[in-house]
Amino acid sequence: MTQQKILVNGSWRNAQASEYFQAFNPSTGEQLEDSYPVSEWKDCDAALSAASNAYQSMQNLPRDTFAKFLECYADKIEANASSLVEMANLETGLPTSPRLADVEIPRTCGQLRQAALAARDASWTHPTIDTQNNIRSVLQSIGPVAVFGPNNFPFAFGSISGGDFAAAIAAGNPVIAKAHPSHPGTTRLFAELAQQASEEAGLPNGAVQLLYAMSNESGLKLVGDARIAATGFTGSRPAGLALKKAAEEAGKLIYLELSSVNPVVVLPGALQERSSEIAEEFSMSCLMAAGQLCTKPGLLIVQDSSEVDAFIDSIKDKFQQGPVGTLLSPNAAENILNTSSELVAAGATLLTNKSEFESGRFCQSNTLLEVSGDSFVSDSATFQEEMFGNASLIIRSRSTEQTISILSLLEGNLTGCVYSGTDGSDDEDYDSIVPTLTQKVGRVINDKMPTGVAVSPAMNHGGPFPSSGHPGFTAVGLPAAVKRFAALKCYDNVRVHRLPELLADKNPGGVWRQVDGQWSQSDIE
């Protein structure tokens, strides 16, 4: 058993720890060999000081250095993809191909390279110049950022490889990554590559650091520490809420992605027109990656009609006969079971039969439940609890009005989908429900399922609380995601030779700037 080291201030060192943990292989249920430290506060403190020092010198680095780091890191990830994929498969049970090798590796490298473009191009900094008053403002780096990654995307949302990491670095900030305990080995391999890339690109020691774990108390202290500027957290709601409280009480920023049930409304015309395609799409979207996706459709709302029984039966069959994916953590199966039991106790019907599975592997039978619109409305808090995994709830609504009531009772969600007839027969219904839906979600979708979040400049992976902590920002999509880790700085009457490059009269890079109200790539005359 190897006791792994943490990455602090540019070197791999033994942690200050009296506790250690091991990850599991979800495909067998066995504990893995390597042992990872639960850092004491001293490690957090050392990382914070190193990040703070790193930030001082990072402020003087050209933006190109951050871009080079991100590109060099992406290259190294590609060059080492096979070992990353192998380790992640071992620690998460996620399929090697296509998922890890052919989807997540390209996505992760794509994000890092888009972040590099954002660092170089700097359009996201929104330079604004008022020539008459000689006042100029721009978004700049904010300071050390802590990133807590989730368990379900070991690469693309990984704490030292994913979107938050890429965005924080692109803005010019050091990152203290906190590994998810389900895949510490994967995170370690990424951190090794990140550290090499950091050295090659000329980032200072402490620009990228890795801790595996810490006590809850230390975690809360970390996000509220004076040396931290902001935190990015993706994960469970209770942990996220505790960190949110600690950060915000200290006046610190924290961007969160907590929970989402991603309602899908299928309108009558759509059901009449293409019921079997929708049943197929919905089931695929629920069961892919064992439903362990933040945009898994956890609520399907259909209006009762003669087609509905067959539609629900068809989904039920797909759940019963479909492959049962591997869950990421030892307690995931029990969580699904417990939540579905709560729903049944509250009045839902379990449509799928439980089956037996091989012992060892972390899994739970695909779980489909149904509840009436009346029941949902009478106990909406219970029925909209997120079941993270291969489980979903169908709501049989009595009418368009009831569908609106159901939507109006939802908490904030990342996404909301509407399937409607292509012949226009649902257009009136669409118009009456979508205003309510739009208020509850960050992304409105037509005629497709919410899973598969494109890394697009126009994406919003965010939404009203608790799907995110701030509905004005997205966690996916560049350069928009970078803005979370930036502070607005204004230069008022500052002498010309002292202005930051992006606010100078000359604009040799042709950055898009708002000069006296007009967007321009020109110099100021």
Looking at the Cβ atoms of 320 and 436, the one nearer to a second copy is: 436
Looking at the Cβ atoms of 99 and 443, the one nearer to a second copy is: 443
Measure the CA–CA gap between 126 and 118, rounded to whole angstroms: 12
Rounded to a whole number of angstroms, the minimum distance from the CB of residue 468 to a second copy is: 9
SS3 percent helix, strand, coil of the chain, rounded to 5, is 40, 20, 40
Q: How would you write 192-258 as a 3-class SS string?
A: HHHHHHHHHHCCCCCCEEEECEECHHHHHHHHHCCCCCEEEEECCHHHHHHHHHHHHHCCCEEEEEC
Looking at the Cβ atoms of 402 and 468, the one nearer to a second copy is: 468
Looking at the Cβ atoms of 350 and 487, the one nearer to a second copy is: 487
Looking at the Cβ atoms of 129 and 208, the one nearer to a second copy is: 129
Rounded to a whole number of angstroms, the minimum distance from the CB of residue 250 to a second copy is: 8
Question: Residue 350 region, left (φ>0) first, then alpha (ψ -120 to 50), else beta?
Answer: beta
Looking at the Cβ atoms of 239 and 324, the one nearer to a second copy is: 239
Count CB atoms within 10 A of the CB of residue 28: 16
Rounded to a whole number of angstroms, the minimum distance from the CB of residue 458 to a second copy is: 4
Rounded to a whole number of angstroms, the minimum distance from the CB of residue 47 to a second copy is: 19
Q: Identify any residues that bridge with 388 across adjacent strands, giving them in sequence order.
A: none
Angle at 116 between CA 113 and CA 120, to 5 degrees: 145
Consecutive H or E run containing 139: strand 135-141
Q: Which residues bind to a second copy, rule: CB under 8 A?
A: 56, 59-60, 123, 128-130, 133, 135-137, 139, 142-143, 244-245, 248-249, 251-253, 412, 415, 430, 434-435, 438-439, 442-448, 454, 456-460, 462, 464-466, 469-474, 480, 483-484, 486-495, 498, 512, 514, 517, 519
Q: Where are the alpha helices (DSSP H) in 289-421?
A: 308-321, 332-345, 373-378, 380-383, 400-408
Q: If you ran DSSP here, which 8-state letter would residue 35 be given?
A: B
Q: How would you write 80-131 as a 3-class SS string?
A: CHHHHHHHHHHHHCCCHHHHHHHHHHHHHHHHHHHHHHHHHHCHHHCCEEEC
Rounded to a whole number of angstroms, the minimum distance from the CB of residue 162 to a second copy is: 20
C-beta separation of 524 from 518 below 8 A: no
Rounded to a whole number of angstroms, the minimum distance from the CB of residue 481 to a second copy is: 11
Question: Which are the catalytic amino acids?
Answer: 257, 294
Question: Residue 213 region, left (φ>0) first, then alpha (ψ -120 to 50), else beta?
Answer: beta
Measure the CA–CA gap between 524 and 477, rounded to whole angstroms: 31
Looking at the Cβ atoms of 128 and 339, the one nearer to a second copy is: 128
C-beta separation of 475 from 463 below 8 A: no
Q: Helices 400-408 and 427-440 sit at what angle, rounded to 10 degrees?
A: 10
What residues have CB less than 8 Å from 464, skipping those under 6 apart?
411, 412, 413, 439, 440, 441, 442, 471
Rounded to a whole number of angstroms, the minimum distance from the CB of residue 506 to a second copy is: 17
